[in-house]
Structure 1
Amino acid sequence: MAFFRFKLLTANGRIDRGVVELPFTDNPPAIRYLERQGGVVIDIHKLGALMSWLTRVVTQGFTRVKRPDLAEFFNNMAMLLGAGVPVLSAMEEIMQEIKNPMLLMTLKFMRTDIESGQTFGEALSRHPKVFNPLVQYMCRIGEETGMLDKMCAKSAKHLEHIEQIVSGTKRALVYPAFILTVVVAACAFWFYVVVPKILALFVDMKVAIPWPTQLLMNISNWFQAYFGWSILGFVAAIFLVTTLRRKNTWFHYQTDWVMLHIPVLNNIIHLSTNARISEYLGILVGAGVGVVRTLEIITDSIENLVYKGRLILVQDSVKNGNPLSDSMRQAEALHPFAVRMVSVGEQTGRIEEQTGYVAEIYRQKLDGMVEVLGKTLEPLMLVIMGVMFGAIFAGLMLPIYDMMGKLG
């Protein structure tokens, strides 16, 4: 995708100027695209990286195409195609109701590609950042078999399931992070704002400082001196880790391995990844895609490099003639229960049904874990906050009692 500034002579003799984002990197295909809309391109040039970013922010904000938007699009396509409406007419009808500017722009490009002779599946493949490989394959298979409406419906259902898995994973991870942030913020406020003022009063009155109060004083002094630097260092560490994960494959793999061995977090990652692998496996094999190609698509779709490496081992084993279930068992690419269900599906010829059942079970387990985390962390946070503020009040009240005793 790149932004092009153009000057176009329209059919009625007017000069039309503007900036448009197109899925091209050179001027000639951009010119052909614009002239198919009607008119003659007088001048065109591609914007630089900075200007393209600024133009995208101004025209589209930080909008991206979300899975629910895609699911709604494919559901509508399934209904219209099932009613006998042609592909282009169905897209025109749906585009009138779309609010997401990024999706609307993508569909306009697809419409132009289809008018130029490409198929619906080929038009989808030109936008891999919007439509994942599984959806592209399903729509191509739907066109080849004359069941595009059914494949669009399956694509919508798949996107809804993946959104359920991803949102469940995010909820499971965000809630503990939110609680930790609340605790740290409360500590920072008390030790940075409240406690120093009270302790300064004790020092001015020359009250004897017991050891709990002295401990509070030391913690408060640390917050005053180093808390800001600690926050800065924490942010810098997050930025560094994120950059290294993106740039260095070895570091990315090691951090993924560490996350798979952190209590609670490892269960969340295992459940969500097993649910996604089962979901992809059932849909692709059920749609008639070969097992090896299915594994390649799944491998590209999984972000955790540890699981990605295991799936590569599964691919090699299947290519050597081993059954899928045995290959997954040896590589530990799925939980034992999921592997048994895949084995049953291989024996009965119903892999799609069995893996769909497995994916549903793991989605339910993930939802249950999110609910349990919420119920467990709420009282735990209350206990931690109670102990923390109890210690603070105890440290502050001891000098006051000592002072009152001396006055008495």
Structure 2
Amino acid sequence: MAYFYYKYLSKDGPIATGLIDLPYDNPISATTYLEQQGHTVIVVNPLSPFMGALAGLAIHTFEKKVTMEELAEGLTNMAVMLKAGIPLITCLKDTIADHDNSTLSKVGQQLVMRVEGGSSLAEALAAYPRYFPDTLVFLVRLGEETGSLDQTVRDAAAHTQKMDKIRRDTKSALTYPTFMFVAIFGAMFFWIYLVVPPMADMFKQFQLDLPVFTKMVIDGSVVIKANVGMIFGVLLGTIFTLVALVKSSAAVRKLIQRILMKTPIFKVILTAFNLAFITQYMSMMLRAGVDVMRTLQVLKEAIPNEIYREHLDQVQENLVSGIGLRESFDKVGIFPNFVVRMIGVGEQSGTLSEQLEYIAEDYRVKLDELVGNIGKLVEPIAIVVGGGLFIALAMALFAPLYQLIKNI
């Protein structure tokens, strides 16, 4: 896969130039592809690896995102066509034609080129990890090997829809408390930046003997007002740096996740998300015929939480040492008794995938309830935190005024 600079006389008439990402590594194949599209090629040159990386970064930054909902819809349509006996290439082309997402259409065209060039569908999907998760690639490969591609694609579509619902519910639940606390501290900044300075000038004119806490608030206001540009610059820089570190460093992700997992409201939300994520993945993979060890390996690569990833690694090690699945989950100490018991029931009765699906459904329901009730959970904390800050600020500002009025 490489980026090529092209210049051609398009089939519609005008000369066109630009960059194109193709699953080829030589200009001859790229030229052949463009000519097959009906264009008269003038020049095709491959970009250097460095320039190709820059081009890819720029293109991916501004391209339209592919949502899990769109991916699930495409997989569902494809599964229906495969079930009807339609050839794979035709299924891919028709799926592309039904989508309005330009990014998905572009990637779909490249999948078609790869499959027409002799790659399996799993190999073609694996070349685009940005758009297609490892789980999908694994299921498609399994379907190709067992001759049940239509069923595994359908399973992947159902799984993607469920995971999309879990992610959306989690984001909705996290948004309200985040917004609430940002609003509280935003209001505090407004008071300190705009309200405190004129009151400080008034205190100075009357030469009041100010309490220590009032002096601290005024001094803080002076510092903030004098350095507001630098403060916002440092704040934005810190946010961007933190985001970059979260994306690139597992240690930073683990630290932040550990802090959030100790914060009452976030702990409830993230626990429900991760347990729903784990049990949904395991249920789907086991139902598709994947063994437990391979399921855990794929799950470790897919789960976004570093803490749970470490514990899943410990579960794997326990299984390797000969410990049963129930005991392996129980031994790591992070999974609730309910989850461990249900896994034990499934292990003993041979219905593990069904029991895991029950657990996943239970946690999906909990996430739904959290989304509906998050306001009731957050409001008491917001009242205590916000009310405490505003009472402290009011006492700092109005205590000197009370003293002034008393002395008149």
Contact 1:2–1:52, Cα closer than 8 Å, also in 2:
no
Residue in structure 2 matched with residue 261 of structure 1 by the alignment:
262
Once the two structures are overlaid, the 10-residue window that deviates more, 27-36 or 68-77, is 27-36
For 1:345 and 1:222, the matched residues in 2 are separated by 62
For 2:131 and 2:25, the matched residues in 1 are separated by 18
Using the size of structure 1 for normalisation, the TM-score is 0.84
Q: Secondary structure at the match of 1:43?
A: strand
Residues 186 and 62 (structure 1 numbering): CA distance in 2 closer, same or farther, change over 3 Å?
farther
For 2:406 and 2:280, the matched residues in 1 are separated by 71
Contact 1:314–1:333, Cα closer than 8 Å, also in 2:
no
Q: Secondary structure at the match of 2:129?
A: coil
Deviations 1:116-168 (A, max 9, x none): 34343333222222111221222233344443333222212111111122223
Once the two structures are overlaid, the 10-residue window that deviates more, 97-106 or 383-392, is 383-392
Where does 1:2-401 land on structure 2 (aligned, <5 Å)?
A: 2-7=2-7, 17-24=17-24, 27=27, 30=30, 33-34=33-34, 37=37, 42-46=43-47, 48-49=51-52, 52-53=55-56, 56=59, 61-206=62-207, 209=210, 213-214=214-215, 216-225=217-226, 228-332=229-333, 334-382=335-383, 384-393=385-394, 395-400=396-401
Q: CA deviation at 1:219?
A: 3.8
For 1:330 and 1:32, the matched residues in 2 are separated by 59
For 2:203 and 2:10, the matched residues in 1 are separated by 81
Contact 2:63–2:103, Cα closer than 8 Å, also in 1:
no
For 2:138 and 2:107, the matched residues in 1 are separated by 18
Contact 1:31–1:44, Cα closer than 8 Å, also in 2:
no
Once the two structures are overlaid, the 10-residue window that deviates more, 114-123 or 130-139, is 114-123
Residues 37 and 114 (structure 1 numbering): CA distance in 2 closer, same or farther, change over 3 Å?
farther
- Provide structure 2 residue ranges, at least 5 long, that are not aligned to the other structure: none
The CA RMSD over aligned residues, in Å, is 3.4
How many percent identity over aligned positions?
Answer: 31
Contact 1:168–1:367, Cα closer than 8 Å, also in 2:
yes
For 2:13 and 2:62, the matched residues in 1 are separated by 33
For 1:23 and 1:220, the matched residues in 2 are separated by 58
Residues 31 and 294 (structure 1 numbering): CA distance in 2 closer, same or farther, change over 3 Å?
farther
- Provide structure 1 residue ranges, at least 5 long, that are not aligned to the other structure: none
For 2:109 and 2:363, the matched residues in 1 are separated by 37
Q: Secondary structure at the match of 1:264?
A: helix
Using the size of structure 2 for normalisation, the TM-score is 0.84
Deviations 1:231-253 (A, max 9, x none): 44444444444444555555554
Q: Secondary structure at the match of 1:5?
A: strand
Once the two structures are overlaid, the 10-residue window that deviates more, 258-267 or 205-214, is 205-214
For 1:352 and 1:155, the matched residues in 2 are separated by 15
Deviations 1:207-258 (A, max 9, x none): 5656665454234234324555444444444444444455555555444444
For 2:367 and 2:360, the matched residues in 1 are separated by 11
